[in-house]
């Protein structure tokens, strides 16, 4: 059982390594988002998992899909969250590196009610967060997030037996097959596909190619330093890069995907 998290802890201290730190403002209306490790530490992420697990038990939904986006620290953050979930007696299904839509798809493919996707979405490096839901196909709204915040920050999370861990290694392939088996593009298209070196770089190009699109990849290699620009279709630098590539290649269209693949800008 964790004590109520601290709002701040001194970095490089024994307390920072052993006590949960969670900034209250990270609990937003529809998801959670923090600067890591300035506003939440790994022990804080464990406490979040324990609190989320407690909430899932309240809703008879203690079975959850968990995935993470491509950032230097996302896997460590996810594993801390999983530790807390399992301590709360939740059955965890880990789909590994994933897009947010892949995690939502996995809820149906694996017949699992809940989801926790570790991602900072389109935010810049240094951010982390979790998109959550306890009953497919819906994700958390304001009341859900308020209840989770109260459990976690109030130190009301409960540990119990029954937590398990399972890895599903081929969820990305399953999702790709589902997308490409049910769709067809009648007109031959040439498309610039930009992902800002984020997670969508290993998913979007092969899916579009399987649909018959002539793909011109732009910054699709995974690189968590995001050397060109942030993977954010609202970033003017990303849109200008896509525009330039479309004009230079004679492409019909350009796609700009965000860091977890649930947002796309079109040129």
pTM reported for the whole predicted model: 0.96
Structure tokens at 204: 């979007």
pLDDT score, position 105: 99
Mean pLDDT of the chain: 97
3-state secondary structure of 248: helix
Which of 74, 100, 121, 134 does the annotation list as catalytic? 121
pLDDT tens, position by position, 226-255: 999 999 999 999 999 999 999 999 999 999
Residue 18 is among the residues annotated as catalytic for this protein: no
Q: Dump pLDDT digits (tens) for 173-223.
A: 999 999 999 877 888 999 999 999 999 999 999 999 999 999 999 999 999
Structural domains of the chain, with CATH: 14-172 (3.40.120.10), 183-266 (3.40.120.10)
- For residue 34, pLDDT beyond 90: yes
Extended beta strands in the chain, E state:
32-35, 63-68, 91-97, 114-118, 127-133, 164-167, 190-194, 214-218, 253-257, 264-266
User: Which residues have a Cβ under 8 Å from the Cβ of 33 and sit 6 or more positions away?
Assistant: 26, 120, 121, 123, 127, 128, 129
User: Under 8 Å CB-to-CB from 181, ≥6 apart: which residues?
Assistant: none
**Tokens encoding 226:** 């995001």
pLDDT given for residue 182 in this prediction: 81
Q: How far is CA 17 from the centre of its chain?
A: 24
């Amino acid at each position: 059982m964790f004590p109520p998290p601290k709002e701040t802890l001194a970095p490089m201290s024994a307390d920072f390594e052993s006590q949960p730190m969670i900034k209250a403002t990270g609990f937003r209306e529809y998801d959670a988002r923090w600067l890591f490790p300035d506003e939440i530490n790994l022990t804080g992420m464990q406490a979040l998992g324990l609190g989320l697990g407690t909430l899932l038990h309240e809703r008879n939904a203690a079975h959850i899909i968990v995935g993470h986006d491509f950032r230097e620290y996302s896997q460590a953050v996810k594993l801390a969250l999983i530790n807390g979930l399992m301590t709360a007696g939740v059955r965890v299904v880990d789909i590994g590196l994933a897009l947010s839509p892949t995690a939502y798809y996995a809820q149906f493919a694996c017949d699992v009610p809940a989801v926790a996707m570790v991602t900072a979405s389109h935010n810049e490096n240094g951010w982390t967060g979790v998109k959550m839901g306890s009953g497919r196909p819906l994700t958390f709204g304001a009341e859900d997030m308020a209840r989770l915040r109260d459990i976690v920050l109030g130190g009301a999370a409960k540990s119990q037996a029954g937590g398990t861990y399972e890895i599903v290694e081929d969820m990305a392939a399953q999702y790709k097959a589902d997308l490409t088996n049910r769709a067809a593009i009648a007109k031959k298209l040439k498309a610039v596909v930009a992902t800002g070196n984020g997670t969508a770089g290993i998913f979007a190009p092969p899916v579009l190619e399987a649909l018959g699109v002539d793909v011109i990849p732009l910054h699709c290699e995974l690189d968590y330093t995001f050397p060109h620009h942030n993977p954010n279709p609202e970033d003017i630098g990303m849109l200008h890069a896509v525009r330039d590539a479309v004009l230079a290649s004679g492409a019909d269209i350009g796609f700009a995907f965000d860091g977890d693949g649930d947002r796309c800008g079109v040129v």
